[in-house]
Structures are given as C-alpha cells and as structure tokens.
C-alpha cells in the first residue's frame, strides 16, 4: 500500500548495524532507495554497504541505487529565509525522487516581500506549493492569499526564544487567515514532499 516508486528509510534512532542490514535487503529490490535524516555517521555506514549513492549533506538525505526517474508536473518549494533551506531541500529531493519536477524559490520571506512578488509568476505555474518558514512563519498565509493552488506549509524550528522550537511558526500556519493551507510537523520536509507528490502526480497523470 505504498505510492510512488522509491523505498523509504527513516534513519533517526536506528542502530548503524540495523540500518546497514535494511539497506542491504532493499538493494535486492533494484529500486531507488530514499534514506532521510542521515547523519554523517549513518552516511558512512551506508557507504560500507554500497557506493552507488548520492548524499545531500544539507538535506541529510541519501538517494541509494539511483535510477532514472521520469519527472511529471511541477511543485514549487519556497522558503522564508536561508536557514530554512535544509528543510526545503528535504522536501525538494523527496519530490524529485518520487518523480516530480521541482522549482526552488528560496529566501522570499515577508521581511522583504518584494522578492516574493518578483517570483509570483513562477510560483503560480506549480500544481502545489510547499511553503517552508520558521520564526513567525507568515510566508504560508501570504502565499496562499496570492495563489489558487494548495499550499503545504512546513514550520521550521529556525528562531529562538518565544519561537519555542518551531511552535510559533506551527501555530501561525494552522491559523492562516487565507484558505488553502494545510500543515505538516515542524521540520518535516519529507512529509511535505510526500503529500505534495501525491497531489502533483495525481493532477499530472489524471485519474486512472
């Protein structure tokens, strides 16, 4: 009951030996494997199993046994600041590995809102927008007020003090005064990419 093609491993909290075992087993399936939350140690452990892999340090993602993927449709991934990029890349690489075209539009938060406006035409071309923002997280509402497609909002833990590790952005996004926004867990780039992929591919492929 799993959509899309790659197998997925969530590495956080897995023992390295256990992890290597999982990767070895999956390699037999001859499919793309997407490993998320891959620390440098976990990356090195996986390298002992295979060297046929691509590692994004910023996204903490490994695409193992990478195969050619046919990409469809379009998803825009936007961020408020540069510190949100690590979460955005988790979403973007997830999207690409699941077969979606991605347009990355970073650092367009509301402190300098003209940069958002300058990119509006690009954003409007997408079937879904993934909006990634920390601190006050206002980006998702502003974007949803400007586009007609679903916005998947990802609060990040970027910030300090009354940010309470992402609670501030999370509440902002849940209370969006613009309709068309739904929200995933704090820093959950994978989750946002996954649901955005479900939507975009269904639009691109039409109903079977």
Ligand X SMILES: Nc1ncnc2c1ncn2[C@@H]1O[C@H](COP(=O)(O)O)[C@@H](O)[C@H]1O
36 is in the binding site of which of Mg ion, ligand X, its own copies, none (Cβ under 5 to 8 A by kind)?
ligand X
Of residues 137-156, those binding Mg ion (CB under 5 A): 144
CB of 90 to Mg ion, least distance (A): 19
| Alpha-carbon distance values, 66 to 4, 11, 25, 32, 159 (Å) | 15, 18, 16, 5, 35
Q: Which spans of this chain sit near ligand X (rule: CB under 6 A)? A: 8-10, 36-37, 81-82, 179, 188, 190-191
CB of 16 to ligand X, least distance (A): 14
CB of 147 to Mg ion, least distance (A): 5
* Residues 106-138 as b or e (16 or more Cβ within 10 Å = b): bbbbbeeeeebeebeeebeebbbbbbbbbbbbb
Taking a C-beta distance cutoff of 8 angstroms, is the pair 52, 65 a contact?
A: yes
Which CB atom, from 10 or from 125, has the smaller least distance to ligand X? Answer: 10
CB of 53 to its own copies, least distance (A): 22
One character per residue 158-197, x = contact with Mg ion (rule: CB under 5 A): ----------------------x-----------------
Block residue for tokens 């590692």: 55
- Residue 159's SS3 state is coil
Radius of gyration of the chain (CA): 17
Kindly list the residues in this chain that would bind Mg ion in the complex (CB under 5 A): 144, 180
């Amino acid at each position: 009951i799993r959509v899309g093609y790659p197998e997925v491993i969530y590495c956080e909290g897995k023992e390295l030996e256990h992890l290597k075992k999982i990767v070895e087993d999956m390699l037999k399936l001859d499919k793309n494997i997407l490993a998320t939350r891959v620390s440098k140690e976990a990356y090195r452990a996986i390298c002992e199993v295979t060297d046929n892999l691509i590692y994004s340090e910023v996204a903490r993602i490994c695409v193992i046994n990478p195969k050619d993927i046919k990409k469809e449709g379009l998803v825009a991934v936007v961020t408020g600041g540069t510190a949100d990029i690590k979460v955005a890349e988790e979403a973007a690489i997830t999207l690409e590995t699941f077969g979606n075209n991605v347009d990355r539009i970073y650092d367009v938060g509301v402190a300098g809102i003209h940069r958002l406006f300058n990119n509006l035409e690009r954003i409007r071309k997408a079937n879904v927008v993934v909006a990634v923002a920390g601190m006050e997280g206002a980006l998702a509402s502003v974007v949803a007020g400007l586009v007609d497609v679903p916005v998947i909002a990802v609060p990040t833990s970027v910030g300090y003090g009354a940010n309470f590790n992402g609670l501030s952005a999370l509440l902002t996004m849940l209370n969006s005064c613009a309709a068309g926004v739904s929200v995933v867990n704090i820093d959950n780039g994978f989750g946002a990419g996954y649901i955005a992929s479900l939507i975009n591919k269904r639009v691109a492929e039409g109903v079977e």
